[in-house]
Structures are given as C-alpha cells and as structure tokens.
Structure 1
Amino acid sequence: MAERKLIVIADPYTVYAFRMLGVEGYPVGNAEEARGVLRSLQSRRDVAIVFVSAELYDELAGDIETLEKANPSIVVSRLPTLREPGKPLDVQKELLRALGMG
C-alpha cells in the first residue's frame, strides 16, 4: 500500500510549524482560500488525513462534507490552534470541583 499524507490547512504560523515536522501544509488567510484547497484535494489519492484549523472548521462544514463524499478515504479533523477563541473559565466552579464540593 502506498504511503499516504497528512495535510494541514491553517494560518501561516501553524502551517510553518507543521512543515518543520515534514507535514504538507497550506497557509490560508480566510475560508475562501481554504475552500480552494479543499476542492484541490478531492481528486488526490495520496491523502489520508486533513487537519483544518478550528477557526475555519465550522465555516467550512459543507465543503468538508463534500470532500469526504468525493473521496471517502480522506478523514477531515478540526485542529485546535493558538488563535482559536478560548472558553471562559469559571474558577470558583473548578476550585469547588477540585475540592470535591462541586
């Protein structure tokens, strides 16, 4: 069986970090650029997994579904990044839970 690749679609900083590890990556600045990359992957048979940055993933849900239908051997997953908005932390609730009181 031929070797298959991991692809990253994200902001330039994230892509460059993955490229240092030998991963094929496509830096994009917005969802429209990412759509173009997803479309270009539809006919590729050497791709196993595509990581799409968290900040783009939800906006590209329809395009991701189209890619997975066109090429069922590709798995697309959400990639958390530093730019992803964090969730607020309820410190009091977490402290009470850690103490066994919540």
Structure 2
Amino acid sequence: MGKVFVVGDKYTVSLFRMVGTEGDFIDDPYNLPDIISKLKKREDIDLILITKDMYEPIRGKIDPLIADQRKPLITIIPSPFSESKPLDVRKMIMKALGFG
C-alpha cells in the first residue's frame, strides 16, 4: 500500500502530518513543478495532494504534469485559505479509475 504525500501551505501540511501523512510546505508555488517531478520518481507514493492556493498561480505548468500521470495520482485539494466549492467525489473516483 502506497503513501499519501501533501504539498502546500504550512497549516495544511501540519494538519495532514498529525494524521501520519508525509508532506512538505512551500512558500513559493513556482517551486512546485520541481517538487512534483522529484515525488513522481518515488516508488512508495501513490497519491500527491496539492493545495489549491499553491496550484492556482502556476496552473499552466502543473496541468501537463497532472495530465501525463500514471502513478502517483495527483489531485488538488482546498486549503483553509482558498475559496472552496463542493467536491464531486463520484467524478473524482471515476477519473482515478480512468473513466473521466
């Protein structure tokens, strides 16, 4: 069973670490593509969670990394600092299974 890794603001990463998830907090979203490239090389990670506030400023650079993925699955999650809307969990599951 693979690990979950979260990348985002200090608050969100700290909360995920409290439940046993690995993570790195970053201040500059422009470091995110390099971090994702390094994490994709790790065999033990199955899921990478990126906070929306880190994703939004460099969406154009991250989308190709997300589109060209097999393992690990990369998904965007809301943070306490981002505007959120209801998640369509069914759509997320279908996408993870390759149907979306």
The 1-side partners of 2:40 and 2:83 are apart by 29
Q: Please, what is the CA RMSD of the aligned residues?
A: 2.1
Q: CA deviation at 1:61?
A: 4.6
Long gaps (5+) in structure 1:
88-102
State whether residues 39 and 67 of structure 1, in contact with CA within 8 Å, keep that contact through their aligned partners in structure 2: no
* 71, 74, 80: which one aligns with 1:82: 80
Q: Which moved more, 1:9-18 or 1:32-41?
A: 32-41
What's the counterpart of residue 65 of structure 1? 64
1:17 aligns with 2:12: no
CA distance in 2, matches of 1:7, 1:68: 18
Q: 1:31-75: CA deviations, max 9, x gaps?
A: 122222112112111111111001122324533533663x51211
With structure 2 as the length reference, what TM-score do the two structures score? 0.70
Structure 2 portions without partners, runs of 5+: 86-100
- Following superposition of structure 1 onto structure 2, how do residues 18-33 of structure 1 map, counting pairs within 5 Å? 18-33=16-31
Letter aligned with residue 66 of structure 1: L
Q: Distance in 2 between matches of 1:43 and 1:77?
A: 17
Which has the larger Rg?
A: 1
Give me the identity figure in percent.
Answer: 21
Corresponding residue number in structure 1 for 2:44? 46
Name the stretch that deviates more: 73-82 or 57-66. Answer: 57-66
Q: TM-score, normalised by structure 1?
A: 0.69
